[in-house]
Amino acid sequence: MLPDLVAGALEDASARREQRSLALVEADALARDTARNALEALAPSDRVKIIAEVKRASPSRGPLADIPDPAALAVSYETGGASAISVLTEGRRFGGSLADLEAVREAVSLPVLRKDFIVEPYQVLEARASGADIVLLIVAALDQARLGELHSLVSELGMTALVETHNADEVSRALDIGAALVGVNARNLNTFELDQDLFGSLADRIPSGVIRVAESAVTSPADVAHYRQAGADVVLVGEALVTDGDPVTTLQQFLAS
């Protein structure tokens, strides 16, 4: 699944580049106001923090929610106590867009994450041009040289990279490039199977001073508590919030767990 998702993301980025050149996107990125400080917003505290996700669909479950107004949903997340907002911008399998990101960025005061299959500099630049404060970099999708290159570009543009891992080797690779925000995704991106205990098996490999993010397999307050007890500073929640119907209450219950 992952190679197909990456290939599609590259093809779509190439199509956008034909409409909006690298030079134009770079100019827009450099003209944006300063990115919000994600490391400060997500810093470890005595309570778990949540990145709440705007997510219309997924390859594993298909359509999840229409979300006609992503900005309104993001505002409800902020009201419910989220510390950052994640926006799926991949269109083929997740139903997202950069327009969703731009709308959310204008509606909330929280840091906003562009969640996509980022594999080239153009995508990083358009993330900043669209107002992203955080950019997802998936270690499994990148060789080490490109991972380091994109991580450096994210930092140069004043943003923060959420470096996503799935095993011990990938955690080491994330730390080797100096990642300050490291995620462990319970979902295998090749098979889309879930392992909620994966985070706990890798958490000790992420040193203090690096923010630990648990991703995926969250459907209840007990799941958030499970990740917190395993050492998560932050939990990223998507499907449970868009399918619940009352994201404010759901978020508050998750945070209280």
Catalytic residue (one of 120, 126, 215, 239): 215
Does 164 participate in catalysis according to the annotation? yes
Catalytic residue (one of 58, 76, 97, 185): 185
Catalytic residue (one of 78, 164, 170, 239): 164
Catalytic residue (one of 76, 86, 115, 120): 115
Does 55 participate in catalysis according to the annotation? yes
Does 53 participate in catalysis according to the annotation? yes
Does 220 participate in catalysis according to the annotation? no
Catalytic residue (one of 49, 55, 90, 120): 55
Catalytic residue (one of 49, 53, 83, 239): 53
Catalytic residue (one of 86, 97, 130, 216): 216
Does 49 participate in catalysis according to the annotation? no
Q: At what angle do helices 121-129 and 22-31 cross, to 10 degrees?
A: 40
Question: Which residues does the annotation mark as catalytic?
Answer: 53, 55, 115, 164, 185, 215-216
